[in-house]
Structure 1
Amino acid sequence: MNIGHTTADTVIAAARRRAEEAGVKAAFAVVDTGGNLVAFSRMDGAPLITIDTAVGKAHTAVSVGLDTIHLTAAIQPGAPLFGTGLTLAGTRSFVPYGGGVLIRSGDAVIGALGVSGAPASEDDHAIGAAAIDTAVVAA
């Protein structure tokens, strides 16, 4: 089961509202379970780097099967993923920072949302998680 375009648009609209409430200029990407881009939006004034980073965070979340905020500890000095950092290589990037949030319909993962633009990746995660909690998610 994969996220549909209408649902992806609903998730992005909810994320935009959350970012606006937080005073954050961000980019938002929704991917399906295969990591394929379904919907994308970048707010006016969001830095250009947020484009690839949002897509990468969404792709990373769906690829590893968890919200990317849970990778933060693994990228710290001495941890197993230290040095991976932000590896941008296009739409299939591994971005192990908060802001990639799984989207579920019931218990099934149907895609992921990537948020990039807040001063801290924990804030990107909070925006994404709140958006998914308020959006009506259906396959």
Structure 2
Amino acid sequence: MATKSQPQLTLQGAHIALAAAQSHAKIIGVPMNIAIVDASTNLIAFERMDGAKITSISIAMDKAFTAAGHRVGTHTYKDAVWPGGPAYGIGNSNGGRFTTFGGGLPVKDAEGRVVGGIGASTGTPAQDQEVVQAGVDALEKVLRGEGKEGKSKL
């Protein structure tokens, strides 16, 4: 076969994840920069909440880029990137965009295929991680058919 079809995260799906992530950021009281990318790591949606750090804009985008492109959460590298670690120096790859601290998660479809990524930044890595997890959870709920939006257009 010379071609292959790949499911794509839609703008509607990105907005579902973005809304849930923003809602959680408000609950914890930390305004965030939140980025959603597709499986090819291209930006679909971005929101900078009032009060989010300007310097965290590109960090949120890079977390989403890393999560989608490498297909795992950015937090998984925490213990591997120190000098002597198996992934030491990986943060210098991809033009310095590869992010190795919490706050980026891949977005997967119902079959477990990565269709995008979500990244958040302004809080601590743990707070950023909570925010992106809320976005992923909301989208997965819709993909299971439990949300009001339904899964047909995601």
Equivalent residue, structure 2, for 1:113 = 118
Alignment of 1:3-82 (within 5 A): 3-82=9-88
C-alpha separation in 2, matches of 1:104 and 1:84: 24
C-alpha separation in 1, matches of 2:126 and 2:64: 15
Amino acid at match of 1:130: A
Give the TM-score taking structure 2 as reference length: 0.80
Q: CA deviation at 1:85?
A: 4.9
- The structure-2 alpha-carbon separation of the partners of 1:19 and 1:86, relative to structure 1 and needing over 3 Å to count, comes to farther
Give the TM-score taking structure 1 as reference length: 0.88
- The structure-2 alpha-carbon separation of the partners of 1:87 and 1:97, relative to structure 1 and needing over 3 Å to count, comes to farther
1:76-119 CA-to-partner distances (Å, cap 9, x unmatched) read 34313335558895xx821111111111121221101001111x
1:32-69 CA-to-partner distances (Å, cap 9, x unmatched) read 00000000001111111111000000000111110111
Equivalent residue, structure 2, for 1:123 = 127
Segments of structure 2 that go 5 or more residues without pairing to the other structure are 1-6, 144-150
8 Å Cα contact 2:16-2:138 kept in structure 1: no
C-alpha separation in 2, matches of 1:55 and 1:74: 22
C-alpha separation in 2, matches of 1:75 and 1:44: 32
8 Å Cα contact 2:104-2:120 kept in structure 1: yes
Segments of structure 1 that go 5 or more residues without pairing to the other structure are none
Q: CA RMSD in A?
A: 2.0
Count of aligned pairs between the two proteins: 136
Larger radius of gyration between Structure 1 and Structure 2: 2
3-state SS, counterpart of residue 15 of structure 1:
helix
C-alpha separation in 1, matches of 2:103 and 2:15: 17
8 Å Cα contact 2:17-2:134 kept in structure 1: no
The counterpart of 1:133, out of the listed 127, 132, 137, is: 137
C-alpha separation in 1, matches of 2:83 and 2:125: 18
8 Å Cα contact 1:33-1:62 kept in structure 2: yes
